[in-house]
């Protein structure tokens, strides 16, 4: 399996983990993850293996920040479906962002935006502006 495909599977695993952080993933969350998998070109068989935890995956983030930001945004979109912004969810998202190498100050500003508009969340343009603001 090539690295790019492992990155996709790893991302889907992270989305499932986030959806299940406080119990089972809802049907809406599962449909969202399935749509992401289709968009990424992941087979249904592999998605089922990820969903059932029958595929052992190491955390494999993209190599470049510009590839990590869309993954982070997809996590935020899942949170808008999740509608629970607990300390545990926030800690999970912060950990994932740090493991992806994203700027923590930017991540915290985006979290603040999420708290202000939990049903919608920030737009891709808003997220991009925040990361550009903190780019060294």
Q: What count of Cα atoms within 13 Å lies in the side-chain half-sphere of residue 63?
A: 3
- State the average pLDDT over residues 107-136: 88
Q: What residues have CB less than 8 Å from 72, skipping those under 6 apart?
A: 96, 97, 100, 102, 107, 110, 127
pLDDT for the residue 1? 78
* CA 131, chain centre distance (Å): 16
- 10 Å Cβ neighbour count for 102? 21
Q: How far is Cα 45 from Cα 41, in angstroms, rounded to an integer?
A: 12
Instruction: Determine phi and psi for 2, rounding to 5 degrees.
Output: -80, 165
Higher per-residue confidence, 119 vs 24:
24
pLDDT of 82 reads 62
Torsion sign, CA atoms 53, 27, 112, 125: positive
Segment 35-57 shows an average pLDDT of 94
Contact (CB, 8 A) for 43 and 2: no
**Is 120 a residue whose pLDDT tops 70?**
yes
Confidence of residue 100 (pLDDT cuts 50, 70, 90): very high
% of the chain at pLDDT higher than 90: 66
**pLDDT interval class at 32 (50, 70, 90):** very high
pTM of the model: 0.89
pLDDT of residue 136: 62
pLDDT at 24 over 70: yes
Largest CA distance in the chain: 41
């Amino acid at each position: 399996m090539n690295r790019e495909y492992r990155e996709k599977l790893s991302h889907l695993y992270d989305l499932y983990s986030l959806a299940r952080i406080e119990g089972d993933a809802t049907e809406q969350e599962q449909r969202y993850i399935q749509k992401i998998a289709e968009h990424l070109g992941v087979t249904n068989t592999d998605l089922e293996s990820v969903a059932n935890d029958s595929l052992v995956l190491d955390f494999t983030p993209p190599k470049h920040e510009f590839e990590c930001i869309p993954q982070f945004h997809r996590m935020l979109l899942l949170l808008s479906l999740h509608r629970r912004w607990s300390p545990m969810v926030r800690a999970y998202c912060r950990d994932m962002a740090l493991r992806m190498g994203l700027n923590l100050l930017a991540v915290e500003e985006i979290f603040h935006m999420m708290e202000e508009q939990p049903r919608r969340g920030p737009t891709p343009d808003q997220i991009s502006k925040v990361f550009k603001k903190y780019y060294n």
